[in-house]
Amino acid sequence: MLLVFSAAFSQQKFSLETPPKQLMLLEPGFISTYLNERDFALSPDGNEIYFTISTPKSTFQTIVFSKRTTTGWTKPELVSFAGQFSDLEPAFSADGNTLYFASNRPLSGNSIKDFDIWKVTRSGAGWGNPENLGSTINTTSDEFYPSVAKNGNLYFTATYTGGPGREDIYVSRFEQNAFQKPVALDTAVNSKFYEFNAFVSPDEDYILFTSYGRKNESGGGDLYISLKDAQGKWQPAQNLKQLNSKQLDYCPFVSPDGKSLFFTSERHELPTSFAAPPNYKSIAEIQNQPLNGTGNIYWIDFKEVLRLLK
């Protein structure tokens, strides 16, 4: 089914240069479809889009990509290293030559394992073979959602015994050409509840993430932002209420030029009743469109988001 999805589209022209002032669905029918889309990433040169797709309620997820050409963006298709196991949450290095992602692929053999963070480097016009980041980062628990600062520091999500909350955000400093032991971010970001899917800015001056369980949240998980002060300390996270819905809002990403905020939302337009009895065709049409309760990718001018902060 995934391959059929890939082959169903021709190239499409659209621009990511000028983000909308109001929140908008990203390219409905091409990027945002009836499938579950999440984990948007744009290459530093702005010419490649990567994101994750799955069918509704599927435990299998895979990374797809689209490239910008002189005639438009290419139809989404699976990346060369994906398809056999669950791969998700792509994130570029600052130079665009390394792609980090989460996967349950085995270290050896064919049996799936827990989710680890992996990386793959460019090889010619494509990608090489994925490499596990090793035991400094990965454990027998799940590690998710890598995000890499310009200096190489790696942020990710994990549920570790003894952590600040039920699910938390960690950082591994990149020093002496190696990742160091991860540490949890302080209570300005992490709480006793769930924090996950964190995007850190290239200069580590802000971090965007989702949290679930906090007081006065909008619904199934809200987007938050924490800014660093002049002393390099994270400030108490603020709820981005202007973006959040009653459903799960997660997987934030800011474009390399800092102009656009992309994120995933499960908001929908599914009816709870009908004025007149529907027929089979009309019900099928509701399910075969983007706002059917699966994840879709939205975008907005990031400066507008920052402007509305307290």
Output the CA–CA distances (angstroms, integers) from residue 182 to 88, 136, 156, 173, in the order listed: 21, 8, 9, 7
Lowest-confidence range among 7-21, 44-58, 136-150? 7-21
The residue extents of the domains of the chain are 37-307
- % of residues, the chain, pLDDT over 90: 78
| Res 90: pLDDT | 98
Mean pLDDT over the full length of the chain? 93
Domain formed by 37-307, architecture:
6 Propeller (2.120)
Among 161-165, 245-249, 258-262, 283-287, which stretch is predicted with the lowest mean pLDDT?
Answer: 161-165
Q: Which of 240, 287, 239, 247 is nearest to 267 (CA)?
A: 247
Nearest to 51 by CA among 87, 1, 81, 85: 87
Instruction: Kindly tell me the sign of the dihedral angle through the C-alpha atoms of 176, 181, 182, 185.
Output: negative
Q: What is the pLDDT of residues 29-50, one digit of tens each?
A: 999 999 999 999 999 999 999 9
Q: What is the pLDDT of residues 201-250, one digit of tens each?
A: 999 999 999 999 998 888 889 999 999 999 999 999 999 999 999 999 99
pTM of the entire structure?
0.93
C-alpha–C-alpha distance, residues 285 and 77, integer Å: 24
pLDDT at 99: 98
pLDDT in tens, 260-276: 999 999 999 888 888 88
